[in-house]
A and B are shown apart, each in its own frame.
Chain A
Amino acid sequence: MYRVAICDDEFLTCQEIENIILENTDVLKASFDIDVFYTGEALIEHIRCGASYDFFILDIELAKATGIDVGKYLRDENRNFHTQIIYVSSKETYAMKLFSVQPLDFIVKPVKPEALIRAINRGFEIIGRAEDFFTCKSGKENITISCKEILYLSSDKRVINIVCCDETIEYYGKLSDELKKLPDYFVQIHNSYIINLNALKMSSNDHVIMNNDEQISISRKYTETFRNRMFSRWKKINCED
Chain B
Amino acid sequence: MEYYLINIICNIGLVFSICQFLGDSLQFDFENKNKVMIFSSIWVVATFAINEWLHIPMINLIVNILLMLLIASAYEGSLIKKLLTCIFIAVLGATCDMLAYVVATPFLKEDDYFYSVTFTVLFLLIIERALGVVIRRGKTWDIVGKEMLALSGFPVMAAIILYCVTAMDSGIYRFVACICVVGISLLSVSLYNSLAINLGDRMRKEYLEREVEAYRHEMELMRISNRKEENLRHDLRHHLFEIEGLAKQGKNEKVCDYIEEMRSTFADSKQMVHTGEYETDSLINYLLDSAKNHQITVDCDIKIPEDIDVSQCKLNVIVGNLLENAIDAAAKAEEKKIIFTMQFSRGVLFLRIKNTYGGNIKIENGRVHGKRSINSHGIGLRSVQDLISQQNGNIDIKATEEFFVVEGMIPLT
Contacts and interface: CB of A to CB of B under 8 A. Distances in A.
A2 B346 CA distance: 25
B303 A94 contact: yes
B411 interface: yes
Interface residues of B, number: 26
B343 interface: yes
Interface stretch (A96-104, A153-161, A167-175, A182-190): A96-104
Contacts of A152: none
B276 interface: yes
Q: Is the interface of A mostly helix, strand, loop or mixed?
A: mixed
B348 A92 contact: no
Contacts of A228: 394
Contacts of B343: 234, 238
Contacts of B407: 231, 235, 239
B346 A201 contact: yes
A235 B274 CA distance: 24
A210 B364 CA distance: 37
A106 B348 CA distance: 17
Interface in A202-225: 202-205
Contacts of A227: 392-394, 409, 411
A93 B394 contact: no
B345 interface: yes
Contacts of A34: none
B344 interface: yes
A76 B303 CA distance: 23
Contacts of A238: 341, 343, 350, 352
B303 A105 contact: yes
A95 interface: yes
Contact of B276 (A94, A99, A204, A205): A94
Contacts of A205: 392, 411
Interface stretch (B87-95, B104-112, B304-312): B304-312
Interface string B296-308: 0000000111111
A165 interface: no
B341 A93 contact: no
B303 A106 contact: yes
Contacts of B306: 93-96
A96 B345 contact: no
B269 interface: no
Contacts of B307: 95-96
Contacts of B316: none
A99 B350 CA distance: 14
The size class of the interface chain A forms with chain B is 20 to 34
A179 interface: no
B392 A99 contact: no
Interface string A66-109: 00000000000000000000000000111110110010011000
B275 A203 contact: no
Nearest to A110: B263
Contacts of B347: 202-204
Contacts of B345: 99, 102, 234
Contacts of B350: 231, 234, 238
Contact of A98 (B305, B352, B409): B305
B396 interface: yes
A230 interface: yes
Interface string B339-362: 001011111101010000000000
Contacts of A96: 305-308
Nearest to B306: A93
A106 B305 CA distance: 11
Interface in B162-220: none
B58 to A, nearest CB: 61
Nearest to A108: B274
A200 interface: yes
A228 B409 CA distance: 10
A227 to B, nearest CB: 6
10 contacts: A93-B275, A94-B303, A98-B305, A99-B345, A202-B413, A204-B347, A227-B409, A227-B411, A231-B396, A239-B352
Interface of A: 92-96, 98-99, 102, 105-106, 200-205, 227-228, 230-231, 234-235, 238-239
Query: 8 tightest A-B contacts by CB?
Result: A93-B276, A96-B305, A204-B413, A92-B274, A202-B347, A93-B306, A231-B394, A96-B307
Interface of B: 274-276, 303-308, 341, 343-348, 350, 352, 392-394, 396, 407, 409, 411, 413
